[in-house]
Amino acid sequence: MSEKREVKPETVGIGRRRFINTAALAGLTVGVAACNDKPANAPAAAASGPVAAPAAAHSGGANATHLKPGELDTYYGLWSGGHNGDVRVLGLPSGRELLRIPCFVPDALVGWGITNESKAVMGTKADGSLRYTVADTHHLHGSYKDGNYDGRYAWVNDKINSRIARIRLDYFICDKITELPNVQGFHGIFPDKRDPVDPAINYTTRVFCGAEFAIPLPNDGKDVNAPEKYRSMFSCVDAETMEMRWQVLIDGNCDLTATSYDGKLAATNQYNVENGVHYEDMMSAERDACLFFNIARIEEAVKAGKFKTVGSSKVPVVDGTREANKDPKTALTAYVSVPKNPHGVNASPDQKYFICAGKLSPTATVIELAKVLDWFDGKMEKVDGAIVAEVEIGLGPLHTAFDGRGNAYTTLFLDSQVVKWNVEAAIKFHAGDKNAKYVVDRLDVHYQPGHINATHSETVAADGKYLAVGCKFSKDRFLPVGPFHPENEQLIDISGDKMVLMADHPVRGEPHDFIIFKRDIVKPKQVYDLNEFPLAVKDAKESGVFRNGKKVTVKLTSQAPAFSLREFTVKKGDEVTLILTNLDKIEDLTHGFAVPKYNIQFVINPLETKSVTFIADKPGVFWAYCSTFCHALHLEMRTRMIVEA
Ligand code: K7E
Ligand code: CUA
Ligand code: CA
C-alpha cells in the first residue's frame, strides 16, 4: 500500500495527457498490483505495464480521449443508468456525458413524472399518482437493420418492477414502457435482428426479455411455500407496439440474452438450472445451461393455439420445459449445457457463435449456431454437440465483446482483467491442437469489471476501435468522497495487437451495460414538431383560462422573454390542467416552468408542449417562473398564478 501512496501525488501533479502516455501508467499498475495483493511481476501486470509507448502508434492512442474545445466525439455511447432508472448518453472517446434520458424514475430537471405526458408513459395508479418510483436498469440495446444498428430505437430493462422502456433515438426520449406480466427479476434483454421466416423483414420487430427469478404462477398468494412450483418465463415484446407477444415457460431461470443474426434463435444463459431458492442450491450443479429458443416454432405454436394463459394476463404462454421438448423435430427450446452459473452470452459479429462466460467456471464456452439448428432439424443427436470450444480464460468471466477481427474480449471479475482471446484458435485448441494459442493479451483494469462492449461490437459492423469496461469498484482511482465510491468506466484502445488503457471515468452507480456506435447512425432532431403534441397551443392568441365547472384549463405559450399570460386566476379547489407550448423555434432555446408550493417543475424545449394537472388547494399569489436560463430577461420571465380563496 505504501508503494501506491508514493505513486499517487506524482500522477496528480502532472498533466493528465502526460500521465496516461508516460511511465506513470506502469507505475500505477504496480500500485494496483500491490493493492490487489498480486506480485508486481504477475503475467497480467507485465502485459499491461509496458504498453504506454505503442499507444501513440495506434489510430486511437491515449490522446484521442482529449478533444479540443468545440471538437465533437466520433461515437455515441448509450449507457444504462442503473438505480437512477434512466439512460445516459455519452460522447466517445472523450467520455463526456451529454444527456440523461429519464425512463422509469422521476426526474426533476425535465419534469419526468410530473407532467401528464410523462406520467402516461410511466404508468399511474387510479388516483393519478405514479405506479412506481424506483427502478434498476441493467441492459440497453439498439434496434437493428441488416445486422447493424439503425438508430431508430433503444430498449432498456427495469429489473425491480419487470418493465421494458423504449427510447426514440430521433428525439432521445422515452416514449413507451411495458410491464411484463407474471415474471420477476427481468434482467437480460435483446432485440431480434431480422425475422426468422420473412426475408423482407431484415430489421428488429421483437425484443426478448429474460426473467431471473422464479415465482408462483400466478403469483397470487397461493403456493408461496412450495418453491418447487415456482417458475420463470422468457418473454417477447413487439418492438413497434411495445405490447406483449408471447411468453415461454421454462425450467431454470434466465440471465443474459442474445439473438442470432438470421432471426431464428434467441438464447438466455441460465445460472439456476437447479431451481434453487438459496445460493448454495443455485451453485450445486457443475453445469447449467444456455437455453435456446426456436422463434419460428414458438410463433407457430402460438398461432396454432398451443398455449395457456396465466392469471389475469391474456398473453399466450407456450411450454418450453425440458419434459415437453425432448423431440428435436418439434422442440421449441434446447438446453445446451454450460459450466457453472454462466453469466453473459454474446453473439459474435461473424454471425456464427454465441459465447457464454462461465462466471464460477474460469471458461468461455463457444456454441456454434448452425449446429444448434442442426439439432432442431434432427441432424445432430445431442444438442451439446453444438459446443465447439470450452477453454480456460481466467477467473470470473462475465461478459464478452468483439473487434470484428476474430477476437473476443472477456471481463474477468475476480482477476480484475480483460482477456483478449481468439475464437477460432480456441476452437482449434478445443479440438485437440494444443499448440493453438488462443489467449492474445491481458490487461489489468480497475477493478472487478462486469460489462464490456466495443464499438459496434455485437453487430456485423464491429470496427475494433474502442472498448469500454464497466468496473464495479473504483477503490483508489479517484479523489475520496466518503464511503460511496463512484464506479470506474475505463476506455481501452483495441486497434492494435495489445490493449491500451486510455482513460478512467467516474460514473454514478450502477450502469451495468451500454452500447457504442458511430455518430452518423443517429440524426437527432433538435427542434420538436408542433404536430407531435395533440394539446399544442399553436398560437399565443389561443391562450387563456377555460372553465368547465370545477375543471379549469389554462393554456399558455412561451416565447423569450415572456409567457403569453402575465397572470391567470383560478379558484381554490379547482382541478387545474395547465398546458404550455414553447413557441420558440430556435435550437437550444429551452424554457422551464416552476410553480412555488405546488411541486411543479418541468422544461419545455423548442416547439414542445407539456401539461400538468393539479388541485389549486392553496389560495394566494404564486409566481410561476421560467426555471431555465433562456434570455437576458430570463429572471423577468414569469407569470402570476392567483388562487382565489
Ligand atoms: Cu448485465 Cu451487471 Cu445485470 Cu453482468 S449484469 S455485470
Ligand atoms: Cu425562459 Cu428562462
Ligand atoms: Ca447453477
pLDDT digits (tens, 9 = 90+) for 61-79: 557 888 999 999 999 999 9
At residue 24, the pLDDT reads 31
| Sequence-ordered strand ranges (E) for 181-264 | 184-191, 206-213, 232-238, 244-250, 257-259
CA of 137 to the centre of ligand 1 (A): 10
Whether 603 is in the pocket of ligand 2, judged by its Cβ within 6 Å, is: no
355 within 8 A of 364, measured Cβ to Cβ: yes
Find out whether the peptide bond into 447 is cis, omega within 30 degrees of 0.
yes
At residue 377, the pLDDT reads 98
Nearest atom in ligand 2 to 628's CA: 2
> Distance (Å, rounded) from C-alpha 273 to C-alpha 605?
50
Quick one: CA dihedral 583, 585, 586, 589, positive or negative?
positive
* Segment (H or E) for 44: helix 43-48
Kindly report, residue by residue over 238-294, the tens digit of the pLDDT.
999 999 999 999 999 999 999 999 999 999 999 999 999 999 999 999 999 999 999
CA of 155 to the centre of ligand 3 (A): 28
207 within 8 A of 190, measured Cβ to Cβ: yes
364 within 8 A of 393, measured Cβ to Cβ: yes
Per DSSP, what are the bridge partners of residue 353?
368
**pLDDT at 11 exceeding the cut of 80:** no
Whether 92 is in the pocket of ligand 2, judged by its Cβ within 6 Å, is: no
- The residue contributing the CA closest to ligand 1 atom 2 is 512
Residues 6+ apart with CB under 8 A from 183: 162, 209, 211, 213, 215, 232, 233, 235, 247
**pLDDT at 352 exceeding the cut of 60:** yes
- Ligand nearest the Cα of residue 603 is 2
- The residue contributing the CA closest to ligand 1 atom 6 is 450
**pLDDT at 8 exceeding the cut of 70:** no
Length of the chain: 645
Whether 408 is in the pocket of ligand 2, judged by its Cβ within 6 Å, is: no
* Probe target for ligand 1 pocket from 80, 209, 512, with the most ligand atoms within 8 Å of CB: 512
> Distance (Å, rounded) from C-alpha 457 to C-alpha 238?
24
> Distance (Å, rounded) from C-alpha 464 to C-alpha 458?
11
- Ligand nearest the Cα of residue 287 is 3
**pLDDT at 179 exceeding the cut of 70:** yes
At residue 318, the pLDDT reads 98
Kindly report, residue by residue over 391-447, the tens digit of the pLDDT.
999 999 999 999 999 999 999 999 999 999 999 999 999 999 999 999 999 999 999
- Ligand nearest the Cα of residue 400 is 1
CA of 468 to the centre of ligand 1 (A): 14
Kindly report, residue by residue over 27-72, the tens digit of the pLDDT.
333 333 333 333 333 333 333 333 333 433 444 555 788 899 999 9
Whether 158 is in the pocket of ligand 1, judged by its Cβ within 6 Å, is: no
Q: 522-527 long-range CB contacts below 8 Å, 24 or more apart?
A: 522/76, 522/151, 522/169, 522/170, 523/151, 523/170, 524/169, 524/170, 524/171, 524/172, 525/170, 525/171, 526/587, 526/588, 526/606, 527/585, 527/586, 527/587, 527/605, 527/606, 527/607
Whether 538 is in the pocket of ligand 2, judged by its Cβ within 6 Å, is: no
Overall average pLDDT of the 550-563 stretch: 98
- Ligand nearest the Cα of residue 591 is 2
With a pLDDT cut of 70, the percent of the chain lying above it is 90
Whether 165 is in the pocket of ligand 1, judged by its Cβ within 6 Å, is: no
- The residue contributing the CA closest to ligand 2 atom 1 is 591
412 within 8 A of 363, measured Cβ to Cβ: no
372 within 8 A of 386, measured Cβ to Cβ: yes
CA of 243 to the centre of ligand 2 (A): 39
Q: What is the pTM of this model?
A: 0.91
- Ligand nearest the Cα of residue 513 is 1
Average pLDDT, the chain: 92
At residue 51, the pLDDT reads 37
At residue 62, the pLDDT reads 57
> Distance (Å, rounded) from C-alpha 518 to C-alpha 74?
6
| Ligand 3 ion: residues within 5 Å (CB) | 271, 282, 288, 341
Whether 343 is in the pocket of ligand 1, judged by its Cβ within 6 Å, is: yes
Whether 630 is in the pocket of ligand 2, judged by its Cβ within 6 Å, is: yes
Whether 138 is in the pocket of ligand 1, judged by its Cβ within 6 Å, is: yes
Overall average pLDDT of the 513-523 stretch: 98
At residue 562, the pLDDT reads 98
CA of 264 to the centre of ligand 3 (A): 27
At residue 61, the pLDDT reads 55
Whether 591 is in the pocket of ligand 2, judged by its Cβ within 6 Å, is: yes
Kindly report, residue by residue over 481-504, the tens digit of the pLDDT.
999 999 999 999 999 999 999 999
